[in-house]
A and B are shown apart, each in its own frame.
Chain A
Amino acid sequence: MTTPSQTIGPFFGYALPADGLPDLVPAGTPGAVVLTGTVRDGAGAPVPDALLEVWQADAGGRFADAFEDLDRAQPAGFTGFGRCPTDPDGRFRFVTVKPGAVPGSDGVPQAPHLDLVVFARGLLKPVVTRVYFPAEAANTTDPVLAALGDRAAGLVAREDGRDLVFDVHLSGDDETVFFEL
């Protein structure tokens, strides 16, 4: 008896505040990483009207239970939540930190990851994926990656200089792994 999903449509840009929210931590924070990428459709064309949200633990693997001031969170500290619309070239950019380990459903440790949710015109419901970190030893024992076999590599961001790059392919030959929660 749940309420069904409907598309976010093309006109959310002025309504869903994202000011400051692409930056989960201020630039210059020790350990801060830039996570950037492009959202593409099944023909490889950039998606210029998507909204991305990330949710992740802090560097210690903790989730805050309550945030006093999420909109203006920078002075108050890390919230684990980020929101970023894509630009006309389909690109997004977050500044965050690598989260600590979060136990899996059965207590098995998981490699550091963040959950990434994509909304867009033409998506009647969001897609959910995970971003893992490159050169991370724990990736080899992560239960979610292990179950994906050959597709697991697609969930690991690649290094581009000091930035991390994670492209989202909604469809097509390189379709990103999307999860059912």
Chain B
Amino acid sequence: MTSSTSARPTGSADPPYLFPGYGSTVLRAPARPLVRLPLSRTELTSPVYGHSSVEAGEADLTTRHSGEPLGERIVVTGRVLDSDSRPVRNTLVEVWQANAAGRYPHAADQHPAPLDPNFTGAGRCLTDDEGRYRFVTVKPGAYPWGNHHNAWRPAHLHFSVFGPGLTSRLITQMYFPGDPLFAFDPIYQSIPDQAARDRLVSRLDLDVTTPQWALGYQWDIVLRGSRQTPWES
């Protein structure tokens, strides 16, 4: 299949499928090379959410219950951009995260840390005309997992973004600056390039910080573009 129709630039920032340090990849990583797919409208389009389906309140994870969640209140905001730095407008951003104690309200999470009845840890919003998203939440805690002896995940928010096409569909994780667990986390370490790892780390931003209320973190998301949009020509 021809390379001229591939949207994936060489030197992709993504991790490989197989990264033995992350044990779950061993039986789940495809072993055969991917087949290049000449892109058609199936790959160059994606679902577009209407404003009526996402409510403004879904972007504030601290007000979804009757009381306030425990933990360090934070604002997380940034822009969703395409690979040419153009804003990706009106695209759905979904987030989920552990609570301040490092616990998810999920049946499979058996970490003996407290659940918070005032925190579910899931939110959504649509990007605005500048491609910006903004969530209010609490800083998630680190938590242990079974990958290896004394394995702990660095604090993170899971992000899911659609973008303009299937080629831009992204699920990833946002980290916090200076986390000492980076050096020991195989999921973070699976990304080969340090500069690409750095792009998953938010930065503390005093302009986003709200005085006397919440620290602010800034984190931009750059989606893979597609090198052709044949129906536009």
CB distance from A55 to the nearest CB of B (A): 6
- Given A4-B14, A4-B197, A180-B37, A15:B47 Cβ within 8 A: no
A52 beta carbon closer than 8 Å to chain B: no
Q: B94, A15: Cβ atoms under 8 Å?
A: yes
Range for the number of chain A residues in contact with chain B: 35 or more
A153 beta carbon closer than 8 Å to chain B: no
Q: B170, A57: Cβ atoms under 8 Å?
A: no
Q: A2, B222: Cβ atoms under 8 Å?
A: yes
Compute how far the CA of A1 lies from the CA of B84 in the bound complex, rounded to whole angstroms. 10
A69 beta carbon closer than 8 Å to chain B: yes
> Which one of A115, A176, A181 has the highest number of Cβ atoms from chain B below 10 Å of its Cβ?
A181
A164 beta carbon closer than 8 Å to chain B: no
Compute how far the CA of A148 lies from the CA of B170 in the bound complex, rounded to whole angstroms. 26
Q: A122, B106: Cβ atoms under 8 Å?
A: no
- Given A55-B42, A127-B30, A179-B34, A14:B96 Cβ within 8 A: yes
- Given A2-B223, A6-B200, A178:B42 Cβ within 8 A: no
Range for the number of chain B residues in contact with chain A: 35 or more
By a CB distance below 8 angstroms, the chain A residues around B30 are: 127, 170-171, 175-176, 178
Binds B, one of A25-33, A37-45, A133-141: A37-45
Compute how far the CA of A181 lies from the CA of B141 in the bound complex, rounded to whole angstroms. 35
CB distance from A85 to the nearest CB of B (A): 12
- Given A5-B15, A121-B24, A180-B35, A102:B42 Cβ within 8 A: yes
By a CB distance below 8 angstroms, the chain B residues around A128 are: 37, 166
Q: A15, B14: Cβ atoms under 8 Å?
A: no
Instruction: Please report which residues of chain A, range 111-147, place their CB below 8 angstroms from some CB of chain B when the two chains form the complex.
Output: 113-115, 117, 119-128, 130, 143-144, 147
A77 beta carbon closer than 8 Å to chain B: no
Instruction: Please report which residues of chain B, range 16-34, place their CB below 8 angstroms from some CB of chain A when the two chains form the complex.
Output: 16-17, 19, 22, 24-32, 34
CB distance from A71 to the nearest CB of B (A): 4
